[in-house]
C-alpha cells in the first residue's frame, strides 16, 4: 500500500485516488479540425517517463484534483499541490 497526500485532506491510502492525466498535456484546439489520429494520440498516448513525473490525480473522497509529483521508478511521492496553486 502506498500513501498519497491530498492537499485538502492529508495523507490517505492510494486506493482513495484516481489517476486523471499527465500534467502539462495541452488539449488540442477543437475549434479547428484535427485528425482522428491526433485526437486519439491526445486521449491515449502517454509519455510514461522514468523518474520524476508530474501527474494530475483526483482524491475520490473529496473530489478535488491536484498535482502529484512522484518518482515512477521508486514510487516515492515527492509532493502534492492543489491545481489552483500549481498553475495547471
The least distance separating Zn ion from the CB of residue 73, rounded to whole angstroms, comes to 26
Cα–Cα distance list, 13 to 5, 36, 57, 60 (Å):
9, 38, 13, 11
Q: What would the x/- binding string for Zn ion be over residues 2 to 31, using CB under 5 A? A: ----x-xx----------------------
At 15 the three-state DSSP class reads: helix
Q: Exactly one of 3, 20, 41, 62 binds Zn ion (CB under 5 A); which one?
A: 62
Q: Under the criterion CB under 5 A, does residue 59 sit at the interface with Zn ion? A: yes
The least distance separating Zn ion from the CB of residue 83, rounded to whole angstroms, comes to 12
Q: Ramachandran region of residue 72, left (φ > 0), alpha (ψ -120 to 50) or beta?
A: alpha
Displacement of CA 56 from its chain's centroid (Å): 2
Contact residues toward Zn ion (CB under 5 A) are: 6, 8-9, 59, 62
Amino acid at each position: 500500500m502506498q500513501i498519497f497526500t491530498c492537499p485538502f485532506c492529508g495523507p490517505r491510502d492510494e486506493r482513495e485516488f484516481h489517476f486523471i492525466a499527465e500534467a502539462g498535456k495541452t488539449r488540442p484546439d477543437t475549434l479547428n479540425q484535427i485528425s482522428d489520429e491526433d485526437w486519439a494520440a491526445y486521449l491515449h498516448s502517454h509519455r510514461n517517463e522514468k523518474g520524476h513525473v508530474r501527474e494530475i490525480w483526483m482524491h475520490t473522497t473529496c473530489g478535488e484534483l491536484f498535482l502529484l509529483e512522484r518518482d515512477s521508478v521508486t514510487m516515492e511521492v515527492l509532493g502534492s499541490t492543489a491545481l489552483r496553486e500549481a498553475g495547471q
